[in-house]
Amino acid sequence: MKPNYSFPPYAKFAFILIIIISVIALLYLGQGVLAPLLLAMLFAILIEPIAAFLQARLRFPNTVATSVAVVLFIAVFFILFYFISLQLVGMADDWGKIKSNLDTHYHNLQQFVETKFGITKGQQQQAISQATSESASTGKQLAGATLASITDSLLNLVLIPIYMFLILLYKKHFVKFLRDLVRVENHEKLRDILATVKISVRSYIVGLLIEMVIVSVLTAVGLSIIGIKYAILLGVITGLLNLIPYIGIVVAGLLTVVASLTGDTDATIIVGIIAVNVAVQFVDNNILVPMVVSSKVELNAIASIVGIIIGGLLGGISGMFLAIPIIAILKIIFDRVENLRPWGYLLGDDIPKKVFWRRRARI
């Protein structure tokens, strides 16, 4: 007869806490390897139907079908960034005008501060010069960190397509590994988990792409109405940056304000840009995200926000993008494992109308 060990609640809580801390530490230490690998896994799930179609309908060999699917994926991103680069070249031609308008706004701001607060332009310039000299060393460190980040990003751009190709190529190999790892009586449950993860992740990414297109169109139309010169480019950039929660829309707004200086120095344009961004974000947060994105993963707002913050701390922008798919995958697993179902329910968005407590039966 096997001994029946029963741990007290505080011991179980300690074990869970140690596991969570260990997993977070591993994710933080291994983010350079895990981030591109997880991104490649998500994108591989997205384009897997293309490879399957080429194999099943057109009778392509597995290697050829996988290569074509990955090349098509790369081509879409290349076309998008080629369009953005062409537009940016046109904007660079207007840099002289942008600089002139920035100087005008800067002098107007100095005049406003001098009038309202009695701080002369000389005093303002002295304070700015002092702050600039004090932050020179910080700027050098920031430049070094930025260069390292760009280098890592370029390396990931090469690694992600390679990982995608290998994940699709060895898909059945990985499935067989998981099958051999799990007991026979749990094979049906494993098949259900894999199928649900595939559908959920694919639906979520497609939902993000739909959201990106709609946000881009709405922003471009709004900026065109108020007379911004590079409305289409700025709309596309806003849609792309909107994929980065919280930070993206702020950066997009600042870029739009700078781009507006290719026209004139009228401050009402900036008010119009802010109004367009606020209106688009209202539509995005209240209509697009609940209908197109959140409905695909069925996570509650607390789990999503906390997950995005933790993902940002662990892996930066990549971590923020990966947070929700990873939490969605964990929820799918938790929902199908008996002892972990309460954790799956904790991550979900179901709000019961009433809570029923179980009463101990009287003897």
pLDDT in tens, 278-333: 888 888 877 777 776 666 667 887 888 888 888 888 877 788 888 888 888 888 88
Alpha-carbon gap, residue 219 to 235, rounded angstroms: 5
Instruction: Answer yes or no: is 205 within a domain.
Output: no
Instruction: Answer yes or no: is 111 within a domain.
Output: yes
Q: Enter the tokens of residue 86.
A: 């062409």
237 close to 255: Cβ distance less than 8 angstroms: yes
Q: Enter the tokens of residue 176.
A: 């067989």
| pLDDT-based confidence at residue 138 (cuts at 50, 70, 90) | very low
End-to-end CA distance of the chain: 29
Instruction: Answer yes or no: is 306 within a domain.
Output: no
Q: The pTM is what?
A: 0.74
What's residue 131's pLDDT? Answer: 60
Percent of the chain whose predicted confidence (pLDDT) is above 70: 76
Q: Enter the tokens of residue 292.
A: 């197109």
What's residue 162's pLDDT? Answer: 92
Is residue 180 pLDDT above 50, yes or no?
Answer: yes
Q: How far is CA 340 from CA 179, 223, 240, 337, 344, in A?
A: 20, 48, 36, 5, 7
- Which tens digits make up the pLDDT trace of 189-205? 889 888 888 888 888 88
Is residue 346 pLDDT above 80, yes or no?
Answer: yes
Q: Enter the tokens of residue 155.
A: 């390396």
Instruction: Answer yes or no: is 349 within a domain.
Output: no
Q: Of 196, 183, 236, whose CA–CA distance to 214 is shortest?
A: 236
Q: Enter the tokens of residue 239.
A: 């849609």
What range defines the domain where residue 175 resides? 27-130+139-181
Query: Residues 248, 250, 251, CA angle at the centre, nearest 5°?
Result: 65
Instruction: Answer yes or no: is 299 within a domain.
Output: no
Alpha helices for the chain (secondary structure H): 9-29, 31-56, 62-93, 95-117, 121-134, 136-169, 171-181, 187-225, 231-241, 247-260, 267-283, 295-297, 301-336, 341-347
- Quickly list DSSP for 306-358: HHHHHHHHHHHHHHHHHHHHHHHHHHHHHHHSGGGHHHHHHHB----S-PPPP
* Number of domains composing the chain: 1
Contacts of residue 52, defined as CB under 8 A and 6 or more positions apart, other chains included, come to: 65
What's residue 13's pLDDT? Answer: 77
Q: How far is CA 184 from CA 134, 187, 296, 360, in A?
A: 65, 5, 30, 36
CA quadruple 37, 337, 192, 50: dihedral, nearest 10: -20
Instruction: Answer yes or no: is 162 within a domain.
Output: yes
Is residue 146 pLDDT above 50, yes or no?
Answer: no
Query: Residues 332, 337, 342, CA angle at the centre, nearest 5°?
Result: 80
When pLDDT is averaged across residues 109-123 and rounded to a whole number, the result is 72
Instruction: Answer yes or no: is 122 within a domain.
Output: yes
Q: Enter the tokens of residue 45.
A: 């799930």
Q: Enter the tokens of residue 339.
A: 């002892």
Contacts of residue 98, defined as CB under 8 A and 6 or more positions apart, other chains included, come to: 258, 259, 261, 262
273 close to 184: Cβ distance less than 8 angstroms: no
- Which tens digits make up the pLDDT trace of 209-232? 888 889 889 988 988 888 877 788
Instruction: Answer yes or no: is 249 within a domain.
Output: no
